[in-house]
Amino acid sequence: MDTIVICSGGLDSVSLAYKVAAEHRLRGLLSFDYGQRHVKEVEYAAACARKLGVPHKVVDISNVGAALSGSALTDDVDVPDGHYAEETMKITIVPNRNAIMLAIAFGMAAAEKADAVAAAVHGGDHFIYPDCRPGFIDAFQAMQNHALEGVAEVQLYTPFVTISKADIVTEGAKHGTPFAETWSCYKGGAVHCGRCGTCVERREAFDIAGVEDPTVYADPDFWREAVERA
C-alpha cells in the first residue's frame, strides 16, 4: 500500500513508520501541531522522515486544539505521574483528537492518491482513550467509505490496535527502529522525565519486551513503583 503515516515522533508512530517502510510503500509522514504543551516530538518526526528519505508535513490545527480545553496536554494543567492504568490519566484526553487528525489525513490521502493512512493506536491505549479502540477504528473507516465514495478508496491501517506497547517495541526492533531518536514524555524537558504515564509505559514496555532501552530518564526507577501501584 502507498501509505501516509501519522507520526508524532513517539516510539509507537516511528516504529510504525519503519514497519510501513519495510513492508509497504511509505509515501510520507504527517504530524500535527494541535496546541500541545510542547512540540518537541515533532522534531523527532522530522528526523525520522529525513532518515527514511520521505517528505514530512506538519499541519497546524492549534486553533482547533485551543477549543478542546481541559486536557493536561493542551492547558496549563499538571501532567500526572504514574501508570496509564490509573484514573488520573484521564486528564490527558484531548476530546476527539484522533477523529480530527484522521479526517484531515484521509482528505490529504485522497488528494494525493495514496492508498492508506497509518496510525499507531495500540491496545495499551484502550483503557483511557476511546478514539484508540477497535470499535472507533472500524466506525471511522465506515464513515470515510461514505465520505469519499466515488472520490477515493483510502484504508485506515492500524496494525498495532490490538497489541501491547511491549509488542510494538519488539516489532520496532525487528525493523531497526532507532528508539533513542523518539520522544514520548508529556513534560517536554531536556530528557524524559521517567514519571509521567507515557514515560512509565515506555520503560515498562522495553522491560517486558527484553529490549535494551536507550532512553535517558530524569527518574529512571520510578516506573517500577508506578507499575506495582497500578
DSSP 8-state symbol, 162? T
Give the residue among 188, 179, 192 at the shortest CA–CA distance from 219: 192
**What is the C-alpha separation between 106 and 68, in angstroms, rounded?**
21
pLDDT digits (tens, 9 = 90+) for 190-222: 999 999 989 999 999 999 999 999 999 999 999
Mean pLDDT, all residues of the chain: 90
- The pLDDT assigned to 72 comes to 44
Across 153-166, average pLDDT: 97
pLDDT at 64 over 60: yes
pLDDT digits (tens, 9 = 90+) for 98-150: 999 999 999 999 999 999 999 999 987 767 788 889 999 999 999 999 999 99
pTM of the model: 0.91
Tell the residue number behind the cell numbers 520503560, with chain if given. Answer: 203
Question: Beta partners for 56?
Answer: 29
**Sheet arrangement for strand 25-33:** 56-60, 25-33, 2-6, 116-118, 155-157
